[in-house]
Chains A and B, each alone.
Chain A
Amino acid sequence: MNDSSPILRVNNITKSFGDNTILNGVSFDLVKGEIKVLIGPSGGGKSTLLQCINCLVVPDSGDIELENEQIDFSSKQDLYSLRQRVGMIFQDFNLFDHLTALGNITIALRKVKKISKKDAEQRARVELEQVGLGDKEDLYPAQLSGGQKQRVAIARALAMDPKILMLDEPTSALDPELIGEVIAVIKALAHKGMTMVMATHQISLISGLADEILFMEQGNIVEQGPPSLLLTSGNSSKTQGFCDRLNELSEVEA
């Protein structure tokens, strides 16, 4: 595949719950290796958009194309295959409480990809090593810190060899002193060229990693552009105003 053709195409997605319109015709393309960051006030539809992309929430209308194949929302096989190729990281980790760090990673490899137990464990160890948790494979989620849980969750998603990784506020549920270790892992992924869509309020991720910022408000993308354009000082963009407020907040905390 040629690198400039998008790996993911999101076209005019809408989603309502009852009378409440959450997404109001959202479109964007994602090229291989690109990192797009979603920001904006809560309730703006960032989380719902991410969940629509892997159809955890099935859109009311619109198209999703992954690797030039359009997804048929009514076909379970299409949905399962879509989700195997799109990794997802959640705000509150969502590790499986009854499985060790290693078991959390191997379960989908074994049950979904039908890889043998031995090969799955080998792969899982490689991924745990990558996120710096090689010595924690036998610990259960309740024995791990928040930052460690999130790193296991990242290893779990990466073991499936996703084409795209989606991160839904990956550091928002963490204590301030644990955010750094997760950011370091995400930055390392970015340097390896992982394609990502990330909702975050973490200024260092927004300005440091984003190829493009999508500012979402009331179910629409109201501004988009590279950080160099939206975040130059003196710019009157909503994005700039929002990030200024985030900055002020983080200064107050620090």
Chain B
Amino acid sequence: MPIALSTVIDSLPYLLQGSFITAGIVVSAMLLGLVIGVCMAVGLVFGNKCIQYSITIYIWIFRGVPVVVLLFLFYFGLFNFLELNFSAFTSVTIVLGMTTGAYQANIFRGAILSLPQGQFKAASALGMSNSQAIRNIILPQILRMSIPAWSNEYSIILKDSALAFVIGAPEIMARTQFVASRTYQHLSLYIAAGIIYFLLTWAGVIALRKLEQSLRIPGYTHHGSN
């Protein structure tokens, strides 16, 4: 057996353990981003001027600064300054979650604006408060509508999570680099890492598409099929 292949096979369990770390980072970051994104989208559409400005500034910062800069800024800078002893895993999750939150806010905002306005009016006319109308009428529809865009966001964050290796979170990339620096089998190991990332992206996107189909509203043809 060529040495390149046997190195990959020997280190595979070690690399695959890293994929659990990667998956943990991505799932937590996406959920954090979902909460941030939904709250900010509601604030952007229904909030007063002051709320809208604050959210817009947040979105511009997280869209305008590279993730790796944010990682260093938070992990070595802000968390240190605040004497928060966060692990590399937690720090990456927070930074990626806040970043995807900024993008998700725009996804959900667009979805809210695309809903026919009359439904909100009808909910109000039935005596619902704004927050009841948002929770019972708006959110169930925009979350369904946003799944295709959300799955794009998933594939971006999955790949951005590889940056976690720069602050030492033991995910796929960090482990691959560790093995490669000792065995010098760079080509085969990074191909293996690439395949693992590809499979994670593929599995996630397929799972989200299944979710979208199972939640599809009968007779409603507005959804794209991504």
> Among residues 81 to 98 in chain A, which have CB atoms less than 8 Å away from a CB atom of chain B?
81, 83-84, 86-88, 90, 92-98
Kindly report which residue of chain B lies nearest to residue A77, judged by CB atoms: B129
Q: How many angstroms between the C-alpha atoms of A90 and B121 in the bound complex?
A: 10
| Contacts A98-B217, A111-B132, A140-B220; A160 near B121 (Cβ below 8 A) | no
A94 near B127 with CB under 8 A, answer no
B219 near A142 with CB under 8 A, answer yes
Task: Tell me the smallest distance from the CB of B177 to a CB of chain A, in Å.
Answer: 46
B129 near A80 with CB under 8 A, answer yes
Tell me if A172 counts as interface (CB < 8 A to partner B): no
In the complex, chain A residues whose CB is within 8 Å of the CB of B144: 98
B127 near A112 with CB under 8 A, answer yes
In the complex, chain B residues whose CB is within 8 Å of the CB of A14: none
B217 near A97 with CB under 8 A, answer yes
| Contacts A97-B220, A140-B217, A140-B220; A160 near B118 (Cβ below 8 A) | no
Kindly report which residue of chain A lies nearest to residue B144, judged by CB atoms: A98
Tell me if A56 counts as interface (CB < 8 A to partner B): yes
In the complex, chain B residues whose CB is within 8 Å of the CB of A54: 125
0 or 1 for each of A27-46: is its CB under 8 Å from B? (1 = yes):
00000000000000000000
| Contacts A92-B118, A94-B119, A96-B119; A56 near B219 (Cβ below 8 A) | no
A-binding segment of B98-106, B133-141, B179-187: B133-141
Other 15 A-B pairs with CB < 8 A, given A92-B118, A97-B116, A112-B127: A80-B127, A83-B126, A84-B127, A86-B125, A90-B121, A94-B119, A96-B119, A96-B122, A107-B136, A108-B126, A108-B127, A108-B128, A112-B128, A142-B217, A142-B221
Residues of A within 8 A of B (CB): 54, 56, 76, 80-81, 83-84, 86-88, 90, 92-98, 107-108, 111-112, 139-143, 153, 156-157, 160
